[in-house]
Amino acid sequence: MQNFDGTSLAFAIVGILLGTPIALAFSPLLGGHGHGRVSLNSAVAHSLATTDWHVFARIRAQFPSGGSTKTRTNDEELAAALVALVILVTIVTAYVRNAVLIAGLMAGLSILATVVVTITFTVLWRRGAVDGRGIAARLAAVYFAVIAGVLSALWLVEPPLHADALDALATALRNGGSIFAADGVHVGVIVTQMFAALFTFGLLIACIALGLGSVSAVYVHSSSRPRWLWKFAFWTNRWAMHTSTWWTLFILASLSLIMTSGLGFDWLTSAFAWINERIDALLPATPAPAPAPN
């Protein structure tokens, strides 16, 4: 019997996460509203209203902050800054060493998200569970996210601009150096790419949550049993069902494309240079030194 290592566990989790929406979509609808078409928008609105349990607000109410007005000393602020710097250096170093793996995971997750959401919504539509208009906008959002994910995955390895940054940092780390000894431009490019990868992963996870939340909404709206299971399944994914969430993710996806391409670093550099020029223009001019007497 083979050992059940971390890779097997990761694949099992991914299989459960991606297979659940498809399996639920094929399950029979039970309940009074299970016959005929159900508006997906109406189902989502109904599920949002019935699962508005204010859980986090109640938890915060049980643990009040106490209104502490303690101010941190300079030593505490310096220690916090050093800890943040160490964490950032560790994350950047790990990212440089595993950039190809991260890009591959992102591309694979993009493809899987497309397959899962497309199959789920197609099955629901063919079975008359939802209307086509409720699906169209969600599919458009998912496909945009997938395109952003695939392009970001490619540009993490070979960006159109500053393509030498990753190779330079990887070479420095292989030779026993650190990012402190690397070119500051290269470090800046990699840091912007790293945050872009984080944005894109969040976007792709939201796509999967959209599929599971949509299926759960239909079951909640159809009063299917067990009701508590469908309501809990929807509640865990309700964050991906709000329009504001998708506008936020749309902005993050656009930023991820700009940042992984290397263009974001150039824009930031230009913006800081422009700000410095404005500051210099506002400061009084330093008088020229008087010429030395002959």
Highest mean pLDDT among 22-26, 58-62, 83-87: 83-87
- Distance between CA atoms of residues 293 and 75, nearest Å: 50
**CA-based torsion, 230, 233, 239, 243: positive or negative:** negative
Tell me the C-alpha distance between 221 and 224, whole Å: 8
User: Distance from first CA to last CA of the chain, Å, rounded?
Assistant: 95
Return d(Cα 122, Cα 125) in angstroms, integer: 5
pLDDT at residue number 8: 65
Residues near 204 by beta carbon (within 8 Å), at least 6 away in sequence = 106, 109, 110, 113, 145, 146, 149
Name the DSSP class of 63.
S
**Averaged confidence pLDDT in the chain:** 76
Please name the residues in contact with 193: beta carbons below 8 A apart, sequence gap of 6 or more: 95, 155, 156, 159, 166, 259, 260, 262
Instruction: Please give the pLDDT value at position 1.
Output: 43
- CA dist 44 and 33 (Å) reads 14
pLDDT at residue 14, as a whole number: 63
Burial grade of 188 (CB within 10 A; 0-12, 13-18, 19 or more)? middle
pLDDT digits (tens, 9 = 90+) for 100-158: 888 888 888 778 777 777 777 777 777 777 777 767 777 787 888 888 888 888 888 88
DSSP string, 250-289: HHHHHHHHHHHTTHHHHHHHHHHHHHHHHHHHHSPPPPPP
Cβ-based burial of 259 (10 A; exposed 0-12, middle 13-18, buried ≥19): buried
What's the pLDDT tens digit per position in 222-262? 777 777 878 888 888 888 888 888 788 788 888 888 888 88
How far apart (Å, rounded) are the C-alpha atoms in residues 193 and 260? 5
pLDDT value at 19 more than 70: no
Prediction pTM value:
0.71
CB 265 within 8 A of CB 195: no
DSSP 176: T
User: 48: buried, middle or exposed (CB in 10 Å: 19+, 13-18, 0-12)?
Assistant: middle
11: confidence class by pLDDT, cuts 50, 70, 90:
low
Confirm if 227 and 220 have CB atoms less than 8 A apart.
yes
What integer pLDDT is reported at residue 34 of this predicted model?
A: 46
- pLDDT at position 275: 86
